[in-house]
A and B are shown apart, each in its own frame.
Chain A
Amino acid sequence: MPMMSIAEALRLAIREEMERDPRVFCIGEDIGVTGGFGGAFTVTLGLSEQFGHERVLDTPISEIGLAGAAVGAAMAGMRPIADVQYGDFLFCMMDQLANQAAKMTYMSGGTVSVPMVMRAPVGSTRRGSQHAQSLEAFMCHVPGLKVVAPATAYDAKGLLKAAVRDDNPVIVFEHKLLYGSKGARSEKGALSPVGEVPSEDYIVPIGKGIVRREGSDVTIVGKLLTMYQALAAAETLAQEGISAEVIDPRTLVPLDKELILASVRKTGRLVVAEEDNRTCGWAAEIAAMVAEEAFYYLDAPIARVSSIDTPPPFAPVMEAFYLPSADKIVDAVHKLMGKN
């Protein structure tokens, strides 16, 4: 079975979907320029050579424009895969996403659907406040959007294909440190989660999470990069005799609640790790859901490991202070276990 990085797995998914369905096309900034990078993180590299510039559309630097074109095309029967260079620019297109795409099916009484995909790289990678945010909570808050966050190459291909085939607008969050991009587009401190990616057509169903490591003392929920931090924390904790279960929700909306609840019922403790900042965040939502639905199974308060409530700092030392880490997850678990 071929081994691939997440960037390669996403590219393969787009290629297969474009070959399978002529309605599928890519739209974004600098995604198909001849001699370019293939988008900000190489995902669309080579696709314009195969499918032509009519199906790999480069737009002006106008996020509201490209999002509007994608929403309109989807309403008219196409299946666009749009690309925002940095997730931070989702703010520029919020009207198109939150007011138009997300509501259209509801407002039309179900007669109009918006089968579009918006891919958005997130994560803080020493690029300062406007190229570093994690906007998962913002998007999860909009009724009508589905939100996925693949953290492995296998899931990247399977979830992107599921997103393309879904009749609702789907936001695909990708972490900059997980692309495994090579050369000029590689980010400092990147992991290279290269994994097996089947050549055949498969999807990872939207709405299904996965247990990445089994354990009995504490449940750690992490997505994207924090899932890897949770795994590293679980390894450290195992050496102390603490058995941590790590859950990767993979899809944020609709959430695989039952997977998380079943784990918390087993372990009695929950830590939620996120790169989003803390207040009104994604981890807060998971914590509230568990408090509502599994309260009587909790043996300790729920802990959040989040970024702090400031813009992502540019200085590397301050960025490390701001971000979650495996050590911070270990500390949170210690606190829940009554160890200091």
Chain B
Amino acid sequence: MAKEVVVPPLGQTTAEVTLVHWYKREGDAVQAGEPLYAIETDKAVLDVEAPASGVLRAVSAAEGQTVPVLQSIAVIAAPDEAADAPSAAPGALSPDTPAAAVPAVAPRPAASTPTFEPAPGASVPVAQPAFRTASADATIRRLISPRARRLAEAEGLDWSAVPASGPEGAIIERDVRAALEARDRLSASASASAAEPPALLMVEADMTQALHAVAQLRGSNHPLTITNLLERVVRHVGADDAGFRATLVHRPECVATVFAAPLVAGYSAALGVGRIAERPWTLGGQIVARPICWLALTYDAHTLSEAQANAWLGALQRLIEQPALLLV
């Protein structure tokens, strides 16, 4: 049975790649796992391994040619097997099929989306399993309970970005209700502020010390979560400046790293904090990996100056990066 040679999907943004080099020629014997051809993406040049052992046949892409991911570009046939053109093989992918409409090469575990990111410029042998979880489908698959989905659809809520709190990472009814409340609050405050959206200032914060403080206090009589810490920081800034009355929305499980919280009527600002993610960070001229999160401060531009909001955001960032200052 001939095995198709399919250009692997590479993450979510790469729709097509350049075929740089064939290591084997039509009619050559190939071994499963040995480099078969090289492709170039906008990030890197990668070797792709042969998916099976046999003889390379029906090569349909030339060196230098641009090919869509998931396209079949050759087959590996048994030595005595007649080689059909790839498009005639059962289940073959037509070159005309848009990549986004093609199902994933192999079934993937639900809601698991490891990404494959080679170092720039490196030539990395790509093993088949690395692609199992990537998909031509550009959206990350999210789980939602039937009950939650029913509610979201009845309320006309786009649930794709709703933070999930259910088992197995599923969005459940309470998550949809929370999102609906947030939406209602936003529309209430929007109409209150003459239909003008609130202004937003954002800055990154290095969470190393905050995470260290949480780890230190774990198991003590006064355990602390990142949410607790953020609440204390907001209170601290509010104690220093009576004009700062802010709500806090912490979304550590949010897919987005930036979370802009809706401004609530009666408050001067809203601090939204998303997921902490490891990011390159410069420290003393060196690039190091640090746990980073975005602080997004939404404020009412009608009543507050940008300079005032900027000062608050600076104070918040300073305290979150150096939680020991809370004790001063």
Contacts and interface: CB of A to CB of B under 8 A. Distances in A.
Interface of A: 268, 295-301, 335-338
Contacts of A300: 145, 166-167, 170, 172
Dominant secondary structure at the A interface = loop
B150 A338 contact: no
- From B165, B167, B173, name the one whose CB has the most chain A CB atoms within 10 angstroms: B167
A261 to B, nearest CB: 13
A134 to B, nearest CB: 29
Contacts of B172: 299-300, 338
Contacts, number: 34
Count class of interface residues, chain B = 10 to 19
B64 interface: no
Main secondary structure of the interface of B (DSSP, over half): helix
B165 A295 contact: no
Contact of A298 (B146, B165, B167): B146
- Most chain B CB inside 10 Å of its own CB: which residue of A296, A299, A337: A299
Nearest first, the 3 closest Cβ-Cβ pairs linking A and B are A299-B147, A338-B167, A299-B145
B211 interface: no
Contact of A296 (B147, B165, B167, B170): B147
Given A296-B146, A297-B146, A297-B150, A338 B173 contact: no
B167 A295 contact: no
Interface in B163-206: 165-167, 170, 172-173
5 contacts: A296-B147, A297-B146, A300-B170, A301-B167, A336-B167
A299 B165 contact: no
Nearest to B147: A299
Interface string B40-62: 00000000000000000000000
Nearest to B172: A299
A268 B167 contact: no
Nearest to A295: B146
Contacts of A268: 145, 147, 173
Among A297, A300, A335, A337, the one with the most B-chain Cβ atoms within 10 Å of its Cβ is A300
B162 to A, nearest CB: 14
B166 A338 contact: yes
Nearest to A297: B147
Contacts of B105: none
Contact of B166 (A295, A296, A297, A299): A299
Nearest to B175: A299
B148 interface: yes
A26 B147 CA distance: 50
A262 B31 CA distance: 61
A298 B147 contact: yes
Nearest to B176: A299
Contacts of A297: 146-147, 150
Given A268-B173, A300-B167, 20 more contacts: A296-B146, A296-B149, A296-B150, A297-B146, A297-B147, A298-B147, A299-B145, A299-B146, A299-B148, A299-B172, A299-B173, A300-B145, A300-B170, A300-B172, A301-B167, A335-B167, A337-B167, A338-B165, A338-B166, A338-B167
A268 B167 CA distance: 14
A298 B166 contact: no
B145 to A, nearest CB: 4
A172 B141 CA distance: 49
